[in-house]
Amino acid sequence: MNFRSMAIRLLFAIALWCVSGCSGRSSLLNNGLPSNNNGDSQNTGEALCRAGVTSAGSSPMRRLTRFEYNNTVRDLLGDTTEPARDFAPEEQALGFNNNASVLTVSPVLAEQYMTAAEGLAARAAQNLPALLPCDPSDQQGCGRRFIESFGKRAWRRPLQPDEVDRLYAVFNQARTTYDFSTGIQMAMQVMLQSPAFLYRVETGLLPEGGAAYARLTGWEMASRLSYMLWSSMPDDALLAAAEAGQLSTADQIAVQARRMLADPKARQAVANFHQQWLKLDKIDRLEKDATVFPSFQPELRPLLRAETATFIDFVIWDDRGDLQTLLSASYSFRNSALSQFYGEPGPSGDTFQRVELNPARRLGILTHAGILALTSKSNQTSPVQRGKFVREQLLCDQLPPPPPGVAATPPALDPTLTTRQRFAAHSQNPACAGCHQLMDPVGFGLENFDGVGKWRAEENGIAIDASGTVINSDVGAYSGPTDLAQKLATSDKVRACAVTQWFRFGYGRGETDDDRCSMRALKTQFAASGYNIRELLLALTQTDAFLYRKIEGSAP
Amino acid sequence: MSRRISRRSLLRGAGGIAIGLPFLEAMMGCSRSKGPSTSTSARAAMDTPKRLVLFFSPNGTVVNRWRPAGSETGFTLSDILAPLEPHQRDLLILDGMVNAPAGYGPGDDHERGIGCLWTGKELQPGPFQGGAGDPSGFADGISVDQEIANRIGGSSRFKSLEFGVQTNDSAGATVWDRMCYAGPNQPLPPTSNPYAAFDRIFGDMSADSGQLARRMAQRRSVLDAVTDDYSQLAQRLGASDRRKLEAHLTAIREVELRLAGSDSGRPPACQRPDLGVPIDHTLNDNFPAVGRLQMDLLAMAFACDLTRVASLQWSSSVSGTVHSWVGVNRDHHGLSHESDGNADAQEQLVRINRWYAEQLAYLIAKLKQIPEGQGTAFDNTVIVWSNELAKGNEHSHAPLPLVLAGSAGGVFRTGRFLTYDYAYHNDLLIALLNAFGINAATFGNPSWCRGPLPNLS
């Protein structure tokens, strides 16, 4: 074998590696771990998805994220100081920061829990009459009543008598050593550092007849509901339902879920999902080369983020609420400064108002300048990053970075070529083409938007070619940005991906083989609702994965 | 009414300017027990602390511009290591080392590189989807600094301190961003906010000694009750949840131990650090300034004997830092993938790695300024500088760039350039344990251990 044929073989091997490395790793997971299954979860085990046959993946104990902690103490104590803001940040897995399997507690975080609890207790004790359910002239009696009533809300379940006794001992010791207020504060500090507050502890009801799955207690179900739909603790009505045994059946749970979805707190949870799914917090840290994009000022960052967040909130809660509208609506929300930046007609003043888009140019979130800017380089667009964003976030494909020895540099800027022409090397070099055929031809569809998301009909005097094709999907060929947006908006692969993302966020874990039937039910109900996100949230409360708990160590 | 008055007088006391020094003493515990046995001179005589610093920089190096030229004792530092020239006789430069466990198990090359670097053990499987390879979890074992901290950290206020500089906190950290572990699946996130680090390490200054003593007593009884909750609940849970709670319990116990506190005196070099005008510690261009602050805090924590084990993690593996202050305007990771033939890129990578050598030189000089016994704090310290990769464009784990600075109290014979023939880096980790009095024959995965790395002493 001569050198040349060896080299060709090697290149071919690299290309093959690349193609195989890029083609799969989509949705379904084995035991919480991504598999090489290409996303269709329904080819095996379908026969098992029958009424009366329970199947659900293991749900590890979840600890509160910083967002959940802040919301919880707000709802528990009316404390809006966001004490968790400076906690050690969560690690992130499968795209979300609430993945239970990777959230641990280091000594630094344990210490932060301690100082946060001290601050919360001290602030609450400044207004003892508001905090206490009783007259403190009977210090001991009132202390005990406080522990029971506050404990039930802080721990999201009634306290056992021995738990009350132990907390009372802390209270009473401090009361006699220091004073009543210190006793109350120290009991609160214990409660706010206990696993019953910081974690969502689930042991479930005793399973019947050695079954592998257990139903949850009403209290556990109340927390599952409230943290999924509100990113916070249950309210009094939900706790009352738990107490009355009215969270036992799927129908009862649906009644509560509907009530909760009508509460403004549901918006904060849904916003949290989208912020993470679409990486909107990256907009806050956008840096652009001022010589290339002089119109991009730092003051624009919060406006760009607000546009997308306001739009999503409106679509889901005040409009049709469906995935298609999210991805292809012909309107958005801007204020005067943002409209001027876009160079498109808009309202005057600082208030964000609905604007109608030019439907030949922009439709849906993919054409928002914030998302276009965060998927660009500082001095140019990046069809690779934009394609990767669509692949990973909207199609749930997993793409590796360039293999070792391959430079991850964009082709050099060239004033005689368009970006698309410069990136042509990717499709000509077999070592690159394997992966880049998945990304670049998706990103090309957004080439009408420059590196900060402003419209351009041509680049370097050459007309933009924004046609392309999304292979390995049902999207296929498209003719430009709005066509791409519309095709993604009605793609079954995108719809399935949205379900997967919501599963991971809603349940705080990756999907497993045991979740096949839950996943299938979600997809079916999502389709039946016209791909309505609110209905998907409701459906998430009705699956086996939500209603049951797999008993650890048991086989399905 | 009487309570109000006492509270006001307390506040007046705490607000006084002259209270600065007593704060510090209260923090060190002097005011609580100032017996003759804890006077500074007596303390220095009976206890010469040994110290460890792990120093991490990312994305590999440029090996042929890193490797010194010459013999074991007669060598010239390379372009990258040149800033360490003033400290050359304090260095041990190790060539030919391999991070062997990083070649196996789940995870991509960066994940395995950083996760195995100080643990010497393959990663756990888990949900982190890195660039390639099977998805990984966190590291599967304790890191060497923590093993050493478990042995020597008990006598200081903090068992260990983990410092970071822009370690990817806001974008969602993963196994790429963690190098220190208290045990399997127990990452210790570095503190990347120097102001938060300051508050934690040098905090408690806002209370007078009476207030402080009272707060400590309250904390102890609160944490006692909290640990009961964790122990009782853990018994009722399945194995994986139980492990998680037990790790949390260990973390609380560590806080408790710290509150119990050492009563050693305040060494003369111990000064409250001044962080200057606050800066945004998350901005790329503040990277050098943040690093400087963190090194100052680290050095002062040593000077005050608040800890004996520390680590400093510059960014993370796959770092996207733009080292604009050395004239590099591209992200580090992208640059590190450029081929050897791209001379311009190689020059920029040299500048980046050389800059990290300058930072190490700064830390060494800083520790040399702290008098201790007959010499300086540096004499009793060893700093270990390494990387998750050897070469970025090959994603290789050998020859791992490894520089030791300091002799750890005369254990290591410095001023030498040693070449090994693909020695396992686990053996260096074993040698480190031995240097701190831990009589270990293996560390991490025993398959990658042949015994303590020879020829270091």
Chain B CB contacts of A510 under 8 Å are: 127
> Of B219, B239, B266, which residue constitutes the final position of a domain?
B266
Residue B172 domain flag: yes
The winner for highest mean pLDDT among A266-275, A406-415, B196-205 is A266-275
A60 inside 8 A of chain B by CB: yes
Instruction: Evaluate if residue B14 carries a pLDDT over 70.
Output: no
B219 inside 8 A of chain A by CB: yes
The region of weakest confidence among A430-439, B106-115, B254-263 is B254-263
Token representation of residue A411: 């082709």
- The arithmetic mean of pLDDT across residues A354-381, rounded, is 96
Please check whether residues B382 and B357 belong to one and the same domain: yes
| Portion of chain B with pLDDT greater than 90, in percent | 71
CA–CA min distance A110, chain B (Å): 6
d(CA A424, CA A405): 20
- Which pLDDT belongs to residue A428? 82
- Which pLDDT belongs to residue A553? 62
Please check whether residues B214 and B81 belong to one and the same domain: no
Please check whether residues B246 and B338 belong to one and the same domain: no
> Of B231, B266, B301, which residue constitutes the final position of a domain?
B266
Token representation of residue B426: 């686990």
B36 inside 8 A of chain A by CB: no
Q: Is the dihedral of CA B344, B314, B58, B409 positive or negative?
A: positive
Please check whether residues B199 and B249 belong to one and the same domain: no
Q: Which residue of A has its CA nearest to B396?
A: A404
Chain B CB contacts of A408 under 8 Å are: 333-334, 337
For residues B274 and A117, which has the higher predicted lDDT (pLDDT)?
A117
Instruction: Evaluate if residue B188 carries a pLDDT over 80.
Output: yes
Across-strand partners of B424?
Answer: B98
pTM to 2 decimals?
Answer: 0.87
Closest CB from B137, B182, B394 relative to A404: B394
For B:116-135, CB contacts with A below 8 A are 125-129, 131-132, 134-135
Please check whether residues B218 and B316 belong to one and the same domain: no
- Which pLDDT belongs to residue A30? 41
Instruction: Evaluate if residue A42 carries a pLDDT over 70.
Output: no
Instruction: Evaluate if residue A39 carries a pLDDT over 80.
Output: no
Closest CB from B170, B247, B255 relative to A111: B255
Closest CB from B222, B237, B282 relative to A170: B222
Instruction: Evaluate if residue A291 carries a pLDDT over 70.
Output: yes
CA–CA min distance A180, chain B (Å): 13
CA–CA min distance A395, chain B (Å): 16
d(CA B288, CA A404): 28
CB contact under 8 A, B225 and A190: yes
d(CA B141, CA B154): 21
CB contact under 8 A, B337 and A402: yes
Residue B431 domain flag: yes
Residue B153 domain flag: yes
Please check whether residues B327 and B237 belong to one and the same domain: no
The region of weakest confidence among A55-59, A483-487, B362-366 is A55-59
The region of weakest confidence among A37-51, A505-519, B100-114, B407-421 is A37-51
pLDDT tens per residue across span A465-502: 999 999 999 999 999 999 999 999 999 999 999 999 99
Torsion of CA B51, B55, B61, B64, to 10 degrees: -20
- Which pLDDT belongs to residue B446? 97
Please check whether residues B317 and B383 belong to one and the same domain: yes
Q: What is the mean pLDDT of chain B?
A: 87
- The arithmetic mean of pLDDT across residues A209-219, rounded, is 88
- Which pLDDT belongs to residue A515? 96
d(CA A185, CA A77): 13
pLDDT band at A398; cut points 50, 70, 90: confident
DSSP of A367-385 = GSHHHHHHTS-SSS--HHH
For A:26-45, CB contacts with B below 8 A are 29, 32-34
Token representation of residue A247: 């969270």
Please check whether residues B170 and B111 belong to one and the same domain: yes
Instruction: Evaluate if residue B271 carries a pLDDT over 90.
Output: no
- The arithmetic mean of pLDDT across residues B62-72, rounded, is 97
- The arithmetic mean of pLDDT across residues A48-77, rounded, is 92
Question: What is the total residue count of chain B?
Answer: 457
pLDDT tens per residue across span A321-349: 999 999 999 999 999 999 999 999 999 99
pLDDT band at B155; cut points 50, 70, 90: confident
SS3 B278: coil
Chosen from B146, B222, B309 to mutate, greatest number of chain A CBs within 10 A: B222
pLDDT band at B156; cut points 50, 70, 90: confident
Instruction: Evaluate if residue B262 carries a pLDDT over 70.
Output: no
Please check whether residues B280 and B256 belong to one and the same domain: no
> Of B266, B281, B300, which residue constitutes the final position of a domain?
B266
Residues 6+ apart with CB under 8 A from B217: none
Residue B28 domain flag: no
pLDDT band at B362; cut points 50, 70, 90: very high
CA–CA min distance A408, chain B (Å): 5
Domain containing residue B140: CATH number: 3.40.720.10
pLDDT band at B99; cut points 50, 70, 90: very high
- The arithmetic mean of pLDDT across residues A441-450, rounded, is 97
Torsion region of A293: left, alpha or beta (phi above 0 gives left; psi -120 to 50 gives alpha): beta
- The arithmetic mean of pLDDT across residues B354-374, rounded, is 96
pLDDT band at A48; cut points 50, 70, 90: low
- Which pLDDT belongs to residue B16? 31
pLDDT tens per residue across span A104-135: 999 999 999 999 999 999 999 999 999 999 99
The domains of chain A are located at 20-38+46-59+210-263+518-556, 62-200, 270-286+293-400+415-489
- What are the φ/ψ torsions at residue A230 (nearest 5 degrees)? -125, -10
Please check whether residues B380 and B402 belong to one and the same domain: yes
Residue B155 domain flag: yes
Beta carbons of B311 and B180 less than 8 angstroms apart: yes
- The arithmetic mean of pLDDT across residues A393-418, rounded, is 80
For residues B261 and B370, which has the higher predicted lDDT (pLDDT)?
B370
Please check whether residues B162 and B296 belong to one and the same domain: yes
Beta carbons of A133 and A549 less than 8 angstroms apart: no
Q: Quote the domain boundaries for residue B176.
A: 50-205+272-448
pLDDT tens per residue across span B399-441: 999 999 999 999 999 999 999 999 999 999 999 999 999 999 9
Provide the domain count of chain B: 2
Q: How far is CA A138 from CA A132, A134, A142, A165, A173, in A?
A: 12, 9, 6, 17, 16
Beta carbons of A435 and A22 less than 8 angstroms apart: yes
Token representation of residue A427: 């499709």
Please check whether residues B284 and B241 belong to one and the same domain: no
d(CA B36, CA A66): 46
d(CA B424, CA B401): 13
pLDDT band at A152; cut points 50, 70, 90: very high
Residue B16 domain flag: no
